C-alpha cells in the first residue's frame, strides 16, 4: 500500500460470508460494503417470504456489518438497490424506511436481469462514512452534509447529495422535470439531457462545478441507445475552460437495466470530488486538491471516459470490457477468458499509476449470464494476494459489444492527490 494509510478489511459472523469478497473494506474516510443478498447468515439460505422479507434481510445484513465495525445505519451515505422486478419498489421502500432514523442516504434503484442465487428478488450494497479513518490517521469528528435542492426532483426515500470529507455522492437522477414531477417528453436523448440537468442543478445548489464529477454510471433500458446518449453526454463534458483545455471526462460505467423507476429509458448517478471537505475540515480552495486523471496505452482507450480518476484518497476506474488493447478486439474464449482480460486491463491501469491490485477496495461485476459466475470467480481470485475487495455482482441482459462480462473498480489512494489530502 502506498502512502502509509492502511486498508482495513473485515468480516462478521452476523452476516453472510463469501469466499470471493470481504464484507467491509475501509480506507481513509469511507467504508465499502459488499452487496448483500437476502441470505440468513445462520442457515446460508435465502429467507422465506416475499420481496419485503428479502429486502429486510438484505438491510439486516448491512446493519450487522455496519454495527460490527462500531458504526450505525445513519453513517451510510449511499445505497444501491438491485431488483428483479421494478414493480417491487414500493414494497421495498416500505421496509427500507424503517432502517433509517434521521435521514435517508443517496440511492440508486435499478432492475437487473439476474442476481446471484436464483431465488433472490433483491440485493443491496452500501457506502459508509468513516470518520475515524484508518490507521495511522487520527479519528476526527467529521460532519456528514446531506442536502436537497428545489431545482431537482425530490424523493421520499433518498437525499440528493450526501457529502463526507472529500467526496459527494449524488442520488441517481431520472429524466424527471422537477417542476412537474413527470418524465420529460421525447426520446432517450431528451431523457438523458434531463438526467444531466438534474445532476447539474444539484451540484450548482452546493456550489460545485460539473467538472468535479469523477465517476458517472449510466443505466440504460436499451443498450442500443448508447450512441444517442453519448451525443448528449458530450455536450455536458467537459464543462469548464480548464477541463476543455485538458479534455477531461470522468471515469464511466454503462449498465444495461431490465427496467428503471417510472419506466424511464435512462438514469444517471455520479460521484463528485469535494475539495473543501466537510466541517470541521478547513475550507480549502476548491482546486487545492487536484483531480488526477490518467490513461495508459496498456488498456483500451476511449474519448468518452478517463480510465482512472483520482481525488484525495480514492481512485475510480472506468468499466473495462474484455478487449485486447493492442488489437482492440475481444479475446478468444468464454466468460473466464473475458473476465481475465477485464482484470488484466484493470491491472494495467492500476499499475500505470504505481498501485497494485491489492489496493482495490471495491469491484463491480456485470455478467451477461449469471451462470458464468463460478467460472469468473475461478479466475478472479488469482488477481489478488491479500484480502479480497468488497464486491457487487449482477446479471444484465446485455453488455456493450456483446461482451459476456464487464468490470469496474474503486482503488485506495494512500498518497492522495496534490497538495496531499
With a pLDDT cut of 70, the percent of the chain lying above it is 98
Give φ, ψ of 261 to 5 degrees.
-55, 145
Which residue in the block uniquely carries the three cell numbers 438526467? Answer: 195
pLDDT at 140: 86
CB 265 within 8 A of CB 222: yes
Mean local confidence (pLDDT), 13-31: 98
Mean local confidence (pLDDT), 13-32: 98
Alpha-carbon distance 274 to 287, whole Å?
9
With a pLDDT cut of 90, the percent of the chain lying above it is 92
Using DSSP, state whether 418 is helix, strand or coil: coil
pLDDT at 289: 84
Query: 354's torsion region: left (phi>0), alpha (psi -120 to 50) or beta?
Result: left
Beta bridge partners of residue 310, listed in sequence order: 292, 315
CB 319 within 8 A of CB 274: no
Which residue in the block uniquely carries the three cell numbers 484480502? Answer: 387
pLDDT at 234: 96
More confident residue, 281 or 180: 180
Give φ, ψ of 107 to 5 degrees.
-155, 150
pLDDT at 287: 57
Give φ, ψ of 130 to 5 degrees.
-140, 75
Mean local confidence (pLDDT), 315-319: 98
Beta-strand runs (E) in 59-114: 76-83, 106-111
Closest by CA position to 319, among listed 290, 293, 336, 343: 343
More confident residue, 276 or 23: 23
Chain CA centroid to CA 160, Å: 15
Alpha-carbon distance 286 to 272, whole Å?
12
C-alpha cell at 177: 422535470
Average pLDDT for the chain: 96
pLDDT in tens, 186-232: 999 999 999 999 999 999 999 999 999 999 999 999 999 999 999 99
CB 275 within 8 A of CB 212: yes
pLDDT at 421: 44
| The pLDDT of residue 2 is above 60 | no
C-alpha cell at 57: 434481510
pLDDT at 285: 56
pLDDT at 1: 42
Beta bridge partners of residue 324, listed in sequence order: none
- Confidence bin at 241 (pLDDT 50/70/90): confident
pLDDT in tens, 331-382: 999 999 999 999 999 999 999 999 999 999 999 999 999 999 999 999 999 9
pLDDT in tens, 175-187: 999 999 999 999 9
More confident residue, 131 or 2: 131
pLDDT at 243: 87
C-alpha cell at 213: 464529477
Alpha-carbon distance 297 to 111, whole Å?
35
Least confident of 22-26, 168-172, 238-242, 410-414: 238-242
Tell me whether the omega of the peptide bond preceding residue 121 falls within 30 degrees of 0, making it cis.
no
End-to-end alpha carbon distance in the chain: 16
pLDDT at 283: 72
pTM: 0.97
Amino acid at each position: 500500500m502506498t502512502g502509509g494509510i492502511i486498508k482495513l478489511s473485515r468480516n462478521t459472523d452476523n452476516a453472510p460470508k463469501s469466499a470471493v469478497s470481504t464484507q467491509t473494506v475501509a480506507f481513509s474516510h469511507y467504508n465499502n460494503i459488499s452487496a448483500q443478498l437476502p441470505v440468513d447468515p445462520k442457515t446460508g439460505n435465502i429467507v422465506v417470504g416475499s420481496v419485503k422479507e428479502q429486502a429486510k434481510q438484505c438491510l439486516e445484513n448491512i446493519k450487522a456489518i455496519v454495527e460490527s465495525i462500531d458504526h450505525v445505519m445513519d453513517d451510510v451515505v449511499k445505497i444501491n438497490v438491485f431488483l428483479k422486478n421494478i414493480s417491487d419498489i414500493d414494497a421495498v421502500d416500505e421496509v427500507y424506511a424503517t432502517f433509517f432514523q434521521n435521514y435517508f442516504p443517496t440511492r440508486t434503484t435499478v432492475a437487473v436481469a439476474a442476481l446471484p442465487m436464483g431465488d433472490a428478488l433483491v440485493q443491496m450494497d452500501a457506502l459508509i462514512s468513516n470518520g475515524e479513518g484508518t490507521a495511522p490517521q487520527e479519528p476526527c469528528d467529521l460532519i456528514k452534509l446531506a442536502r436537497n435542492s428545489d431545482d431537482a426532483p425530490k424523493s421520499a426515500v433518498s437525499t440528493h447529495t450526501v457529502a463526507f470529507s472529500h467526496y459527494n455522492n449524488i442520488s441517481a437522477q431520472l429524466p424527471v422535470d422537477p417542476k412537474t414531477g413527470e418524465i420529460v417528453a421525447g426520446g432517450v436523448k431528451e431523457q438523458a439531457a434531463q438526467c444531466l440537468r438534474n445532476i447539474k442543478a444539484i451540484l450548482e445548489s452546493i456550489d460545485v462545478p460539473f467538472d468535479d464529477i469523477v465517476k458517472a454510471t449510466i443505466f440504460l433500458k436499451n443498450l442500443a441507445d448508447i450512441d444517442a446518449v453519448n451525443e448528449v453526454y458530450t455536450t455536458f463534458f467537459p464543462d469548464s475552460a480548464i477541463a476543455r483545455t485538458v479534455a477531461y471526462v470522468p471515469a464511466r460505467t454503462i449498465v444495461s437495466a431490465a427496467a428503471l423507476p417510472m419506466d424511464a429509458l435512462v438514469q444517471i448517478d455520479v460521484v463528485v470530488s469535494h475539495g473543501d471537505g466537510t466541517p470541521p475540515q478547513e475550507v480549502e480552495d476548491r482546486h487545492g486538491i487536484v483531480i488526477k486523471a490518467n490513461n495508459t496505452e496498456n488498456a483500451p482507450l476511449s474519448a468518452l471516459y478517463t480510465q482512472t480518476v483520482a481525488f484525495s484518497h480514492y481512485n475510480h476506474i472506468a468499466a473495462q470490457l474484455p478487449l485486447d488493447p493492442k488489437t482492440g478486439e475481444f479475446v478468444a474464449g468464454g466468460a473466464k477468458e473475458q473476465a481475465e482480460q477485464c482484470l488484466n486491463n484493470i491491472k494495467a491501469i492500476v499499475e500505470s499509476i504505481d498501485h497494485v491490485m491489492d489496493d482495490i477496495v471495491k469491484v463491480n461485476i456485470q455478467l451477461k449470464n449469471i451462470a458464468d459466475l463460478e467460472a469468473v470467480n475461478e479466475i478472479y481470485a488469482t488477481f489478488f494476494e491479500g484480502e479480497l475487495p468488497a464486491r457487487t455482482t449482477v446479471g444484465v441482459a446485455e453488455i456493450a459489444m456483446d461482451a459476456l462480462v464487464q468490470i469496474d473498480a474503486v482503488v485506495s489512494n494512500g498518497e492522495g492527490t496534490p497538495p496531499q489530502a
